[in-house]
Chains A and B, each alone.
Chain A
Amino acid sequence: MPASEMAVEVSGLTKSFGTVHALRGLDLTVPTGEVTGFLGPNGSGKSTTIRILLGLLRADGGRATVLGGDPWVDAVRLHRSIAYVPGDVTLWPNLTGGEAIDILARLSGPLDPARKAAMLERFELDPTKKARTYSKGNRQKVALVAALASDAELLLLDEPTSGLDPLMEAAFTESIREVKAAGRSVLLSSHIFAEVEKLADRVTIIREGVTVESGTITELRHLTRSQLTVVLPRGADGLARVPGVHDLQSADGHVTFAVDDAALPGVLAEVARLEPISIVANPPSLEELFLRHYGDELAALTNGGQK
């Protein structure tokens, strides 16, 4: 894809803090007009990546392009078109939330008062309270309102919903859909799988500073496994050896196993041959995939070349 279709393009990014290797060759793309989910366990390097994309940190190696520019060299020019929501929102304790929103929003361009008012209403935020008296969720909302009230082409969101209640999460989802409809791009780092599943077009999963999985949600679903429970009165003869079947357990004719979605047709044909009298299938969930990637199965999965 040509560069102009990519809001963010990162390849082989490395960054160390002394002896800590936070990033070791990370790849990431955010296509223009799409929402890209950015997932990884604690300490895997998500915030570090986003802070490099903002020019707050300087990468040690690799390439990073943001809106066609170099995030370190062209920081100020690029920031006119970027809105950022940090994972840990620090505000000026003795300024009000409304003041903080105006200051932050105006730093990247003129502020649209109507948009600000609409966002304040949507997120039910009282802008006259001093930041020191806000709850955690309300501090988060200040950063969100400031970002969403702007016209930024690219939104870099680092765990933007941590601390929001379910109603506010719904408001956030709605806002991101609007952003996407307006053709703007979003990089969304999150630990909430459901949120990513709902909003993201593409997902990049990283672990220990390296990208381990990257693709559209549909592509990733193919890497997941469905859970099948079948009742086979004649026994599960040979089923465990069928390619794509994992963790087979059988008791009293109830047979439970996981199937790679890619191998589903072949496995179902085999099950049919065994004359099942009942079959229950649990659909694949992204959460399962993420958990497998977060955990130690990762090595096996990537080495197995399933990608």
Chain B
Amino acid sequence: MTATLTAPTAAPVRAGAPADALAGIGTMVRLVVRRNRVRLGVWVVVLVGMLAYVASYYQEIFPTQASLDDFAALSDTPGIRALTGLSPAADTLGGAVWTKSWMTIALSLAIGVAFLVVRNGRADEEAGRTELLRSRMLGVHAYGVASWLVNGALCVVVGLGVAFVSASGGLDPDGAGVAGSLVLGASVTGVGLVGLGIGAVAGQVTTTSRGANALASGVIVGCYVLRMIGDLGDGTLTWASPIGWGQEMQPFGANRVWPLALLVLLAAGLLGVAAALEARRDLGAGLVPERAGRPGAPERYTAPLGLGLRLQRGPVIGWSVTVVLCGLLFGSIIEAMNELIADAEAGPAQDFLRGSGVDALLAMLASMIGLVTAVFATQSAVSLRADEASGIIEPQLAGALSRRRWAWQRLAIPIVGSAALLALGGTILGAVHGSLTDDASAVGTLAGAALAYWPAVMVLVGVAVALFGWLPRLAIPLTWGFMAAMWFATMLGEVFGLPQWLLDGLPFSAVPYVPAEPMAWTPLLLLTLVAAGLAWSGVERFARRDVQPG
């Protein structure tokens, strides 16, 4: 054989954006719709349905202008301002419905769309499905843009549905046309689109879908907290948050349209950033290149607890920072609100607050620390099933490690970690608030108020473990579904006519509302027993059943 030298015929490697970046987008749009049609449908039905339900319920319980005036007066509490924002037109039917449901709908849509974008972006890339797609006639951006289009359409459809329900339900004030309804729908769509942009960027930055989901929801929750502080203060920080922009469109009040432009511009900017990042990076890579690591593991990784702590290091640090920030921010705003807090008499409209004044606000902030901790604990508890599903548990259990020891050591992280997070958040909240009001006892009181949520958080962990043991294949969605259902029931339970005993029995409602209410030990003991029973039954079942990957 003779070797001949020939001039290179292959094209040189070129920099710049690949050509035909959108080739194949039609097929991809169909794929995204096909894969997510159930989820897309559920989001539309749930979000639009929620508004429809609240609207018809409020129409029933506020039949006169006098009753609406009462609602507006009684709703003007720091708690309502903090949690949902208060409509400047709270004395209209539309404003009342907005106050009750807008924040839930807009926030759910933003987070839901961000998760959907990650699911069809980073998650597929991580699983290697995108690689197969990209090997066909498919532009770099085709899959991503297809998913953005579908999810953008979801935001628009939800907004249109909201506007339609509002207009046909007569939420607009008499004689004002349907402008309020249109602005309402547009504000929901706008916030949803920003969620889409955040999800798209998050999916470019991290290499794992878990990381992308955490980043996206963290940013969205950060926006929520910003506007919360703004709404409690002079309103400046409200304008620093895209969720605040949506609020400030003030449907049924000022009916502003121009903040929608801000929302759309921000969303477009975020998508532009995401596209630029996607064009530059390799498939499967994130922004930070992988570095070399240690050639061996320390002895402590042999125990499931040590390894679990190492693997959950990111979330544990992230949640600790979140809780510390919550404590600092919450603690510092209360004092500034002193004038706002008049000791108004309690009324039926103070659904969220269960009282009034500083103590009720403190109790509500403690419960928010409880909620944040609950998300951490659930995430950590659900990782047991995630490790079984990925198959990573099998080589470990093939070692001299009993399933019970594995499970309980892993559960030590949510069990002990939750107590630590609650104590940390409550202590900081109390320390900041106490130092501003010269009240040394605030630290103990608020640490106790936050720690009172530990048994309730443990019930969520117990539910996660029981589902892991008994229904492994459904455990993860059911656990999150249970958490979401609990949250919806707490926020909207009475609207949906759920019986009072059920609402009072929900883990978070059963917790004494310290410091607005005195500490009560019986419910805490009961919750702890329920949690222990659930967790024990789940672990025992796991020890006796097949290991089921997949």
Contacts and interface: CB of A to CB of B under 8 A. Distances in A.
B295 A79 contact: no
Contacts of A58: 544-546
Contacts of A56: 394, 397-398, 546-547
B290 interface: yes
B443 to A, nearest CB: 37
Q: Which applies to chain A's interface (DSSP): helix, strand, loop or mixed?
A: mixed
Contacts of A133: 290
Interface string A72-100: 00011101101110101111111110111
Interface in B300-348: 301-302, 307, 310-311
Contacts of A253: none
A115 interface: no
A75 B547 CA distance: 13
Contacts, number: 116
A99 B402 contact: no
A104 B396 contact: yes
Nearest to B392: A90
A132 interface: yes
Nearest to A77: B400
B295 A98 contact: yes
A93 B400 contact: no
Given A56-B546, A94-B311, A132 B295 contact: no
A232 B451 CA distance: 96
Interface of A: 51, 54-58, 75-77, 79-80, 82-84, 86, 88-96, 98-104, 106-109, 113, 116, 127-130, 132-133, 143, 146, 156
Given A51-B547, A75-B402, A88-B391, A107 B396 contact: yes
Contacts of A77: 400
Given A56-B547, A58-B546, A95 B293 contact: yes
B549 to A, nearest CB: 9
A100 B297 CA distance: 7
B207 A102 contact: no
Interface in B386-435: 390-392, 394-402
Contact of B296 (A91, A127, A143): A127
Give the one of B296, B307, B310, B401 with max A CB within 10 A.
Answer: B296
5 contacts: A54-B397, A56-B546, A79-B397, A106-B299, A127-B295
B294 interface: yes
Contacts of A127: 295-296
B97 to A, nearest CB: 46
Nearest to A106: B302
B396 A76 contact: no
A103 B396 CA distance: 8
Interface of B: 207-208, 290-297, 299, 301-302, 307, 310-311, 390-392, 394-402, 544-547
Given A95-B297, A107-B401, A128-B295, A86 B302 contact: no
A257 B9 CA distance: 52
In the complex, the 5 A-B pairs of residues with the closest C-beta atoms, listed nearest first: A107-B399, A102-B297, A98-B295, A99-B297, A96-B293
A292 B513 CA distance: 74
A307 to B, nearest CB: 33
B547 A84 contact: no
Given A56-B547, A90-B392, A109-B400, A102 B208 contact: no
Given A86-B395, A93-B208, A129 B292 contact: yes
B400 A80 contact: yes
Contacts of A92: 311, 392
Nearest to A107: B399
A107 B299 CA distance: 10
B394 A108 contact: no
B402 A130 contact: no
Nearest to A156: B398
B304 to A, nearest CB: 10
A91 B391 CA distance: 9
B394 A107 contact: no
A86 B397 contact: no
A54 B394 CA distance: 9
A296 to B, nearest CB: 30
B407 to A, nearest CB: 14
Contacts of B297: 95, 98-103, 106
Given A90-B391, A102-B301, A128 B400 contact: no
Contacts of B390: 90
Nearest to B391: A90
A66 to B, nearest CB: 12
B397 A143 contact: no
Given A58-B546, A88-B391, A129 B293 contact: yes
Contact of B399 (A79, A99, A128, A143): A79
Contacts of A143: 395
B311 A99 contact: no
B10 to A, nearest CB: 24
Nearest to B398: A84
A83 B391 CA distance: 17
A15 to B, nearest CB: 9
A103 B400 contact: no
B547 A103 contact: no
B400 A86 contact: no
Contact of A132 (B207, B302, B397): B207
Contacts of A129: 290, 292-293
B294 A99 contact: yes
Contacts of B392: 90-92
Contacts of B208: 93
A102 B391 CA distance: 18
A82 B394 CA distance: 13
A128 B398 contact: no
Contacts of A108: 398-400
Contacts of A76: 400-402
A93 B311 CA distance: 10
A104 B295 contact: no
A94 B399 CA distance: 21
B397 A99 contact: no
Nearest to B302: A106
A156 B291 CA distance: 33
Contacts of A156: 398
Contacts of B311: 92, 94-95
A99 B391 contact: no
A108 B402 CA distance: 12
Contacts of B394: 51, 54, 56, 84, 86, 90
A108 B400 CA distance: 5
A248 to B, nearest CB: 43
Nearest to A129: B292
Contacts of A95: 293, 297, 310-311
A276 B399 CA distance: 62
A51 B544 CA distance: 15
Given A101-B297, A128-B295, 12 more contacts: A54-B397, A56-B547, A76-B402, A82-B398, A92-B311, A95-B297, A99-B294, A104-B396, A106-B399, A113-B296, A129-B290, A143-B395
Nearest to A76: B402
Contacts of A128: 292-295
B124 to A, nearest CB: 16
Contact of B398 (A54, A100, A109): A54
B484 to A, nearest CB: 28
Contact of B290 (A54, A80, A100, A132): A132
Nearest to A146: B395
